[in-house]
A and B are shown apart, each in its own frame.
Chain A
Amino acid sequence: MNAQIIMDGLIAGSMIGLGAVGITLTYSILRFANFAHGDMISWAAYFALAISTALGTLVPGLSQPLGPFSFGWSLPVGLLTAIICTGLLALLVDWLLFARLRQRGGAVIILVMAGFGAALTLRSFLEFVFTSKPAYFTNALQIARPLFAGAHATPDQLLGLGIAVVLVVLVHLALTRTPAGRAMRAVSENQALAGLAGVNVAKTIRVAWVFGAGLAAVAGVMAGLLVQIRPHMGHDLLLPLFAAAILGGIGSVPGAMIAGLIIGLAEAFCVQFIGAEWRAAVSFIVLVAILLLWPQGLFGKKTT
């Protein structure tokens, strides 16, 4: 077995996992599949690109690569700004669209269709402003370094993998050890009872949007750094994101991350042994297989 396949799979899987954590959080609390999540990933990457480019232009020293990495301080600042801006964007979309439909008791299918509409609008707006031409956070070249058993990875890739693991642990701790996390879990199970227990459901839903958007922002910046930035980058990730969220079990943060890694590994093996053109089919096959054979996923609750 080629260790490089595993390394490639883990790196791709960490990005998928982070996005899937956002999907699983919003899905379990808002109770609908938000197809605009992928476009939040794209918007986050462009937010970070705009800020880091502006900072790099104003203060050229901020673009100087940090240690072994390909980027300077302008990118971490851009990431933090992107997390805030994407959170605000998610709240804006919710206020303009989803909250109004929830208040009217809109059926799930209406929310899903509204999500499709929001996704198209967000994507088109990005294409209009930035065009479809790929963009990059940095032009610096990185040499992959040997790690183990012939596997190589760049410092940026290892950083992305590390950030994904740390973030998943932090989100898991936040959900299980903090009042806000308890409130989110309670709202995801029973909104009326959560209200009776004193939980402000509307506020908790807003927190869930910001959490999900923040994770989308990190996934977007990682994807932009490790691959490239395009208006369709988030949309192209949707299928693997949903496959990972469902494989992990809706509502399970560790499950989404582990499933993301599994999907990433499956894609890497597919590219190596079947062909790169079949890569996208892997997520689809995994998704269909789980829904047919194991609908509650790896760590999800069985529904009666």
Chain B
Amino acid sequence: MASPGPALQTSGLIACYERDLPIVRGIDLAVAPGEFVAILGPNGAGKSTFVKAIAGVVPVFAGTVTLAGHDITNTPLHLRSGKGLGFVPQTENIFTSLSIAENLQLAADILPKHLRALRIAKIFAMFPDLASRPGLKAGQLSGGQRQMLAVARALIVEPQVLILDEPSAGLSPKIVGSVFAMLKDINATGVTVVLVEQNVKAALSVADRGVILVEGQIRHAGPAKELTSDPVLAELYLGAQPQRKLGS
């Protein structure tokens, strides 16, 4: 029996804010269904721009993005969540003037009417912290709770692929641990997860595979466990102290 195609695939993806200044420069990446991939790399490597281009926030100038075999390169932004792509931006990822329940209702509004309340109830069962005060304005939540709500909002449509842009940014180490444990739990339910992260150690501890970007291109990729123990990669791209030299 043939194996299923990638849940998410980019081919020759070139993306930029200005046509003459490409930030993402021809990325080919295939993510298998149910896989947890961490996108890593130094500052300015194009990690965030890459996932924003996949999500439709940044314009794509060349290449394609396919979701479960369907080309979504030119799909309007607002139709992508309905096609099974969830994206959680790094900042401003919730509607602070709306209540917790309204944030979820807004995302559920694209679903058929009979599914909306069911999905919100399911999400509240997953996130009891949010369920305990649905009427609270989202702007009053703490950093960790905001990330939780942002992920919950993206999960309402039961996406095939969930992409997160640096969910640990600005969070305390303790909260980062719980956010990453939550992502691992979500991945265990079959959701493909693509995570952009500066916190290399934490990301590789939960990911199946790591992909390292440098200057808008994939420089290296491999199983997360191998990347964790590769000091040269750590030195070159992740800023850690080397323990051995190249070729030694």
Contact = CB atoms under 8 A, between A and B. Distances in A.
A279 B109 CA distance: 47
A196 B106 contact: no
B92 A190 contact: yes
Contacts of A195: 56-57, 76-78
B205 interface: no
Contacts of A182: 98, 102, 105-106, 109
A193 B82 CA distance: 14
Contacts of B92: 190, 193
A179 B97 CA distance: 15
Contact of A199 (B56, B96, B106): B106
Contacts of A198: 78-79, 81-82, 106-107, 109-110, 157
- Residue from B82, B97, B105 with most neighbouring chain A CB atoms (10 Å): B97
Contacts of A189: 95-98
Nearest to A192: B57
Interface string A181-213: 011011001101111111111000000000000
A14 to B, nearest CB: 27
Nearest to A191: B77
A179 B109 contact: yes
Contacts of B153: 197
B78 A200 contact: yes
Contacts, number: 70
Interface in B86-112: 87, 89, 92-98, 102, 105-107, 109-110
Contacts of A193: 89, 92-95
B97 A185 contact: yes
A190 B153 CA distance: 15
A190 B77 CA distance: 14
A197 B105 contact: no
A198 to B, nearest CB: 4
Nearest to A188: B97
**In the complex, which range does the number of interface residues on chain A fall in?**
10 to 19
Nearest to B139: A301
Interface residues of B, number: 27
A196 B83 CA distance: 12
Nearest to B150: A193
B55 interface: yes
A190 B97 CA distance: 10
B156 to A, nearest CB: 9
Contacts of B95: 185-186, 189-190, 193-194
Contacts of B56: 195-196
A207 B97 CA distance: 20
B157 A196 contact: no
A192 B78 CA distance: 9
A197 B93 CA distance: 10
A251 to B, nearest CB: 8
A199 B57 contact: no
Of the candidates A183, A186, A192, A193, the one having the most CB atoms from chain B within 10 angstroms of its own CB is A193
A187 to B, nearest CB: 10
21 contacts: A179-B106, A183-B106, A189-B95, A189-B97, A190-B92, A192-B89, A193-B92, A193-B93, A193-B95, A195-B56, A195-B76, A195-B78, A196-B56, A196-B57, A196-B77, A196-B81, A198-B79, A198-B107, A198-B110, A199-B78, A200-B76
> A-B pairs with the 3 shortest C-beta distances?
A195-B77, A198-B110, A179-B109
